[in-house]
A and B are shown apart, each in its own frame.
Chain A
């Protein structure tokens, strides 16, 4: 038998939303913390990948997102190494939030995509500190196709590395990133919208947002890509 927690990639995993419900207004975390993400009041649409039938969520870019209460997500208050990963099939807008638990120039982290035709779009990681913020970004994140995107953040070197489809991307760190400041119980985990829940809505399809309080490393990123790529036709 293969046990979820016996897979090395799942060690210390703090969030894993595989969207298996395919109906309703909540979706459950299969990682140990059992986070429950709510769709209520701003529900993206349950859909599936035609190729495989894999269940995904479709966001309209104007009003739809997921949320998990601040009090339930203090285990996602990363202040050292961490990794964020999610499969996306984006329709680019100006700036679309993928995942965040943050308050701008105050605390926490956020990962978003930016439309920029000249560099085939950016994926950015932002870390917030008191009164300021630091960030990293990489280019070449294509619209209208499935791709596994995310970041490893290394606290010791203050460097983040972007990954796409299991491979590292050349990442600009602007002199280094500072560790995020803890948000405590003040900020929700939001998927598909920025804090405030009124702007920077993600448009497109999404599957399996995940987070770890550690880096995955090149081998780990290759593994999670190879493990699921066939479901998404990549």
Chain B
């Protein structure tokens, strides 16, 4: 629009103050355009001049008033008129009246159903009758969205990195003839890397015995299968900490001990998962 096309003029209130109500009756306020044609000058309900500036107007996708109460936690606002408008998903919604006037949020979801869902909730419930504006502003342009997608891919890889983890416990032997579980991961989520189980045999006294076994499952289903020969310890151990090295696994493994009744065996396991 050319500079001279901008509408300039006095408002009806201005004229009323100058001329008085009687003289103003029947007067229509017009603005003259550069092509010598006239158009009505728009005022609001209180007679204030409404100036349309296309530079500003281009930033506003929609202005409306909520037609019903939104969610109690401020996570939606409702305006049925939006069902007649295009989708504004990704634009910015700004509350312009009520308790949360001035709060702005990215829109996260289609709006053609009459509900605006902000990316994060407003400060509280957006009740019926609240005015709002949807701005033609998108803070996640295509280029940023592309970067976010790449970051998400990188984050997936980071998430897949195995983390060295540790736990432990204490097993009191039930008795010879019964295997007690030490470390068990019976159904891993996927490939992981158990490293080492250390068992403390300090409580093993003369004449007492413990047998340690390691079982692996190398295919889905079925019972874990013994791997390697059982390791037997008898009597007092000069070096009571014993290491059981473990192998990478996908379908489950367990380390058990079978010992003299009542002997207590603290243990610790390290694995990458």
Which residues of A pack against B, CB within 8 Å?
Answer: 1-4, 7, 20-24, 26, 28-30, 34, 36, 46, 48, 52-55, 119, 138-140, 167-170, 226-227, 230-231
Cβ-closest chain B residue relative to A54:
B189
- Given A2-B161, A227-B159, do A21 and B185 touch, yes or no (CB 8 Å)? yes
Given contacts A24-B181, A24-B186, A170-B73, 12 further A-B contacts (CB under 8 A): A2-B163, A3-B163, A23-B186, A30-B165, A34-B168, A140-B71, A140-B73, A167-B120, A227-B159, A230-B156, A230-B159, A231-B189
27 A-B pairs whose Cβ atoms sit less than 8 Å apart in the complex: A1-B164, A1-B272, A2-B162, A3-B163, A3-B164, A4-B164, A20-B188, A22-B184, A23-B184, A23-B186, A24-B181, A26-B169, A29-B167, A30-B166, A30-B167, A34-B167, A34-B168, A36-B170, A46-B186, A48-B187, A52-B189, A53-B187, A55-B187, A119-B72, A170-B74, A170-B121, A230-B156
User: Which 5 pairs between the two chains have the least Cβ-Cβ distance?
Assistant: A22-B187, A23-B186, A22-B186, A28-B167, A170-B73
Decide if B42 is an interface residue (CB 8 Å cutoff): no
The residue that B184 contacts in the complex, of A2, A24, A30, with Cβ under 8 A, is A24
Chain A residues positioned under 8 Å from B167 (CB to CB): 28-30, 34
Q: Does B190 make an interface contact (CB < 8 A)?
A: yes
Tell me if B168 and A138 are in contact (CB < 8 A): no
Contact across chains for B189 and A55 when beta carbons are under 8 A apart: yes
Question: Closest residue of chain A to B254, judged by CB?
Answer: A23
Asked if B273 is an interface residue, CB under 8 A from chain A, the answer is yes
Instruction: Write the B200-238 contact mask toward A (1 if CB under 8 angstroms, else 0).
Output: 000000000000000000000000000000000000000
User: In the docked arrangement, what's the CA distance between A227 and B160, Å?
Assistant: 10
Whether the pair A4, B73 counts as a contact (CB closer than 8 A) is no
Q: How many angstroms between the C-alpha atoms of A3 and B272 in the bound complex?
A: 9
Q: Is B11 an interface residue (CB 8 A)?
A: no
Write out the residue numbers on chain A whose beta carbons fall within 8 Å of the beta carbon of B52: none
CB neighbours (8 Å) of A138 from chain B are: 73
| A46 and B123 alpha carbons, distance in the complex (Å) | 40
B90 within 8 A of A: no
Are the CB atoms of B72 and A139 closer together than 8 Å? yes
In the assembled complex, the CB of A26 is this many whole angstroms from the nearest CB of chain B, namely: 7
For A138, the closest partner residue in chain B by CB is B73
Shortest distance from the beta carbon of A112 to any chain B beta carbon, whole Å: 19
**Among B75, B163, B252, residue most surrounded by chain A Cβ atoms (within 10 Å):** B163
Task: Determine the chain A residues whose CB is within 8 A of the CB of B161 once the complex forms.
Answer: 2
- Contact, CB under 8 Å: B181 / A169: no
Give chain B residues whose Cβ lies under 8 Å from the Cβ of A119.
72
Least CB distance, A120 to chain B, in whole angstroms:
8
A169 touches B121 (CB 8 A): yes
**Is the pair A22, B185 in contact by a Cβ cutoff of 8 Å?**
yes
CB < 8 Å: which of B72, B75, B169, B272 contacts A36?
A: B169
Residues of B within 8 A of A53 (CB): 187, 189-190
Chain A residues near B181 (CB-CB < 8 A) = 24
- Asked if B124 is an interface residue, CB under 8 A from chain A, the answer is yes
| A170 contacts B124, C-beta separation under 8 Å | yes
A34 to B155, CA, bound (A): 29
Report whether A169 and B73 are in contact in the complex, using a CB–CB cutoff of 8 Å.
Answer: yes
Contacts of A170 in B (CB 8 A): 73-74, 121, 123-124
- Chain B neighbourhood of A48, CB < 8 A: 187
CB atoms of B75 and A140 under 8 A apart: yes
> From residue 234 to 256 of chain B, which have CB atoms closer than 8 A to chain A?
252
What's the Cα separation between A203 and B155 when bound, in Å? Answer: 33
CA distance A167 to B118 in the complex (A): 13
Residues on B with C-beta less than 8 A from A34 are 167-169
Task: Provide the bound-state CA to CA distance between A36 and B266, in Å.
Answer: 13
Whether the pair A23, B187 counts as a contact (CB closer than 8 A) is yes
Write out the residue numbers on chain B whose beta carbons fall within 8 Å of the beta carbon of A54: 189
Contact indicator A226/B273 (Cβ below 8 Å): no
Q: Enumerate chain B residues within 8 angstroms of A21, measured Cβ to Cβ.
A: 184-186
Given known pairs A36-B169, A139-B73, A170-B123, the reply for A7 and B163 (CB within 8 Å) is: yes
The residue on A at minimum CB distance from B152 is A226
Rounded to whole angstroms, the CA-CA distance of A86 and B121 in the bound complex is: 22
A167, B190: Cα distance in complex, Å: 29
B220 to chain A, nearest CB (A): 10
Shortest beta-carbon distance from B93 to chain A in Å: 17
Q: Please give, as numbers and ranges, the residues of chain B lying within 8 Å of A227 by CB-CB distance.
A: 159
| Chain A: CB-nearest residue to B184 | A21
Chain A minimum-CB-distance residue to B168: A34
Contacting residues of chain B (130-167) with chain A, CB-CB under 8 angstroms: 155-156, 159, 161-167
Query: Once bound together, how far apart are the Cα atoms of A34 and B121, in whole Å?
Result: 38
Closest to B160 in A: A230
> Would you call B164 and A2 a contact (CB within 8 A)?
yes
